[in-house]
Amino acid sequence: MNSLLERLRIRRLASTFTILATLSAGILIGSVVAHGVKGQESKVDSSDATPLKIPSPRDLSTDFTKIAKEVGPAVVNINTETLPKEQQQGRKRGGQRFRQMPQNPDNNGPGDDDDQDQDQGQGQGGQGQGGMQDFFNRFFGMGPDQGQPDDQAHAALGSGFIVDPKGYIVTNNHVVDKADRIYVKLASDPDGNGPGHPAKVVGVDKATDLAVIKIEADRPLPTVRLGNSDSSQVGDWVVAIGSPFSLNQTVTAGIVSAKNRTIEGGPRGQFQHFIQTDAAINPGNSGGPLVNMAGEVVGVNTAIFTQSAGYQGIGFAMPSNTVVDVYNALVSPAHKVVRGSIGITFQPTVSSAVQRVYGAKSGVIIRGVQPGMPADKAGLKPGDIITTINGRSIKDGDDLVGDISARKPGSTVQLGYIRDGKQSTATVSIIDRSDMEKAQGAGPDEDEGAPGGGADASQSKLGITVADLPSNAPPSLHGVLIQSVKAGSFADEIQMSGLEGYVISSVNKQPVHNKAEYNAIIAGLKSGSDVVFNVVDPQHPKDGGTLLGGTLP
């Protein structure tokens, strides 16, 4: 029986193959008949075909074309090199160690003041760690900390534009930060002429992420025309020019999609109020110009909002009016930007309920007063509401910042404020903001792009971000909590990477109970100092901890 079924199955398959073969042959024959093709024998008479011709060039110039031709010659490519530490410091380490690839190149961890704003200002819309900042990336192309071994020179890539025919160039601070060598390629330079023209840093301003560099030129160089960024409006067409992915003189277009955009919370965002654009900006565009339809530079392309480290439709440019002020300060004999301060922190925005309870329709509520600073000496206290400066009403924190930071250190202002519903006045001196930061143990070099702000001296000297212990910590545990360790930093070198969540209970045998004590100890450390940490596992505090240390370079 089974043998019979098998023969029937084979017969059906044979029949099927016969049908398919017949259909295939029919299709082939039909194709030959339809097209008159039989192997290579048939030929088509094409004597009546008209040959194609390349038409004469046509000038299809648009405003974008004119802008690219006009501005392009003044846009430069910037390459930098960071030498290995062995060459920088003249010391050697055993073996080769690779740096970890950071998830966010500029995210060194939040400070404990992420939600605070100093008197230098804070714009609306700033967000701290875990919000927009999670995806906010500055962009080099190749940054110095991106997974390269320490014994190799690191190369970075960015853009810039010439503002003075003598060779003065505006770019981003993060393009040239920590670079040992800077080279500039002009648009007129032939390909293959080496790294470019050597450049020197004239000055940098970390608060706005701007820098001025200079090359020596044997002839006047082409320059851009600066525009008034205040005249830019949402919806205006703009053009971005730069070197994304090392592709020189790349031009993209978009519109101004927002103005006065603050994207970092805390002191880091105090002077960064960007023009937002959807012109395509990618790694390597940093420092390049954002140009309006009049061919005027209205911004410096600085950052992107991204989840992939590439273009996703949102870029940010520092307004040209800010650039002008910073540039003039950096090319001055002091080569730095001096900003006024009175030594307070404040709450940038308050609800209507808070305004009603505190009896103020406008003004700035003081959150903290730095001991020994001018505001403290003038008698101001947390909870006071600053309402006027020299009789002029203050609208918000940005207004306060703009006024105070523009004043010269040594001058005084008359502040009107409300305390317990009563109006009072105080004469307050202005000091240099950098002096206040030094007194706080957090100078302008406190971090290299860390979000939030309010970072302590530990970040700049050691590469560690710390915070006070949470309220539910065991009573027997004291110290500060390690939040993050920067790759390639001193702390990383002494094997503290991976100890996030552990507790530093002492520094150089000095017990630490809170961040203030910790900062005071760190502030006293100098180059060449031995530093020893006692690091405790909070899950096993009775184990006594581990001693980790080294000598500060």
Active site residue 489: no
- Find the catalytic residue in 209, 398, 399, 456: 209
286 is catalytic: yes
The values of phi and psi at residue 55, to 5°, are -70, 165
Residue 323 in contact with residue 337, Cβ under 8 Å?
no
As a whole number of angstroms, the distance between CA 331 and CA 202 comes to 7
Write out the two tokens for 526.
């100098």
d(CA 180, CA 338): 26
Among 402, 343, 407, smallest CA distance to 371 is for 343
Over its C-alpha atoms, the chain yields an Rg (Å, rounded) of: 32
Distance CA 158, CA 172 (A): 8
Cα distance between residue 430 and residue 413, in whole Å = 8
The amino acid occupying position 116 is Q
CA gap 357, 401 in Å, rounded: 24
Instruction: Record the tokens describing residue 399, joined without a space.
Output: 């207004």
Structure tokens, 314? 């949102």
The DSSP symbol for 210 reads E
Of 243, 286, 460, 484, the catalytic one is 286
Neighbouring residues of 417: CB distance < 8 A, sequence distance ≥ 6: 363, 366, 380, 384, 385, 386, 387, 423, 424, 425, 426
Residue of 145, 159, 174, 484 marked catalytic: 174
Residues annotated as part of the active site: 174, 209, 286
